[in-house]
């Protein structure tokens, strides 16, 4: 799971059902434009609005549509152990290569409880496990000490850090530097700086709307041109903010549609952005791409 990953949007039809044809087309659309690995059922996939059966079907569609050599990191985390393991087993059966497991949410848990939970998941998981820290949604940021303790587990392969905290990211990298552990950044606004700090790649909502531009950042970094990577990243900061913190998934899908990407509709309780916002997003996309 190195390079550019995308928490792939889930297209819904006008009736609110998953549009699997559009999902397969979207898989091709982003991989043709430079995405290196796919993350169905992530936060920007509206995963928490999918049933367990829908999640498994989404993973299967993406795995079947993924080109050879493009791995699939399926989101399988839920508040409880049994639900997470069930989703992980379904994802494995559907063709996923690894599981992205968000920190348990809804109830409050201390670091020791979370570490024990991840060990239980990793012990039983049929797939390599990637930790997922996104306190914006869960209220719990994985502590560097917890990550370091888990990094040596033979079935814990890495982590997605969506805190947006570069200082914290550097602490994570320092604590896991000697482990076989993929450390991925989850914020498009700090992709290049995180690569400078030792990230192995990123999982960026931005890559749904501007995959080729986000891929430029990774390619420039891989070629040793970190100055260009940072310059491209600066060009994308406003668009990234607009499709994440600014307008969320409805804004992301509006930006995608402005490019002709098969984004589909959002699922309730999400609502489409107003027409004026969609027009502003389309103008921003045109200026950025």
* pLDDT tens figures, 86-125: 999 999 999 999 999 999 999 999 999 999 999 999 999 9
Q: Which among 106, 107, 130, 160 is annotated as catalytic?
A: 160
* pLDDT tens figures, 134-153: 999 999 999 999 999 999 99
Domain ranges of the chain: 3-288
Q: Which among 107, 132, 136, 253 is annotated as catalytic?
A: 132
The average pLDDT across 239-265 equals 98
Q: Angle at CA 65, nearest 5°, toward 209 and 282?
A: 15
User: What is the overall mean pLDDT for the chain?
Assistant: 98
Q: Which residues contact 205 (CB under 8 A, 6 or more apart)?
A: 6, 7, 43, 44, 188, 240, 243, 244, 252
pLDDT the model gives residue 27: 98
pLDDT the model gives residue 195: 98
Residues making up the binding site: 203
pTM above 0.95, yes or no: yes
The average pLDDT across 201-205 equals 98
pLDDT the model gives residue 38: 98
Residues making up the binding site for pyruvate: 203
Q: Active site includes 137? A: no
Architecture of the domain whose range is 3-288: Alpha-Beta Barrel (3.20)
* pLDDT tens figures, 142-191: 999 999 999 999 999 999 999 999 999 999 999 999 999 999 999 999 99
**Reduced 3-state DSSP string for the chain:** CCEEEECCCCCECCCCCECHHHHHHHHHHHHCCCCCEECCCCHHHCHHHCCHHHHHHHHHHHHHHCCCCCCEEEECCCCCHHHHHHHHHHHHHHCCCEEEEECCCCCCCCHHHHHHHHHHHHHHCCCCEEEEECHHHHCCCCCHHHHHHHHCCCCEEEEEECCCCHHHHHHHHHHHCCCCCEEEECCHHHHHHHHHCCCCEEECCHHHHCHHHHHHHHHHHHCCCHHHHHHHHHHHHHHHHHHHHHCHHHHHHHHHHHCCCCCCECCCCCCCCCHHHHHHHHHHHHHHC
* pLDDT tens figures, 35-56: 999 999 999 999 999 999 999 9
Q: What is the sign, positive or negative, of the torsion defined by CA atoms of 109, 131, 137, 161? A: positive
């Amino acid at each position: 799971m190195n390079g550019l990953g995308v928490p792939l949007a889930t297209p819904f039809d006008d009736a609110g059902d998953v549009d699997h044809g559009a999902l397969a087309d979207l898989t091709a659309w982003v991989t043709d434009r430079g995405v290196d690995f796919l993350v169905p059922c992530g936060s920007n996939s509206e995963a928490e609005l999918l049933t367990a059966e829908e999640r498994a079907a989404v993973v299967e569609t993406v795995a079947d549509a993924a080109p050879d050599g493009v791995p699939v990191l399926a989101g399988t985390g839920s508040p409880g152990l049994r639900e997470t393991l069930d989703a992980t087993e379904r994802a494995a059966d559907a063709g996923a290569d690894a599981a992205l497991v968000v920190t348990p949410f809804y109830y409050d848990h201390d670091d020791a409880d979370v570490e024990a939970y991840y060990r239980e998941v990793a012990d039983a998981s049929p797939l390599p496990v990637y930790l997922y820290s996104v306190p914006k949604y869960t209220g719990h940021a994985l502590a560097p000490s917890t990550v370091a303790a888990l990094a040596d587990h033979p079935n814990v392969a890495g982590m997605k850090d969506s805190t947006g905290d570069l200082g914290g990211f550097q602490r994570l990298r320092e604590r896991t530097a000697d482990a076989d552990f993929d450390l991925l950044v989850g914020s498009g606004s700090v992709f290049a700086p995180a690569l400078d700090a030792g990230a192995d790649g990123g999982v960026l909502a931005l890559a749904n709307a501007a995959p080729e531009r986000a891929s430029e950042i990774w390619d420039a970094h891989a070629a040793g041109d970190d100055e260009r990577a940072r310059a491209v990243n600066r060009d994308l900061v406003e668009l990234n903010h607009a499709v994440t913190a600014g307008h969320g998934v409805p804004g992301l899908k509006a930006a995608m549609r402005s490019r002709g990407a098969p984004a589909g509709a959002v699922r309730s309780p999400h609502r489409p952005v107003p027409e004026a916002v969609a027009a502003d997003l389309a103008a921003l996309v045109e200026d950025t791409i």
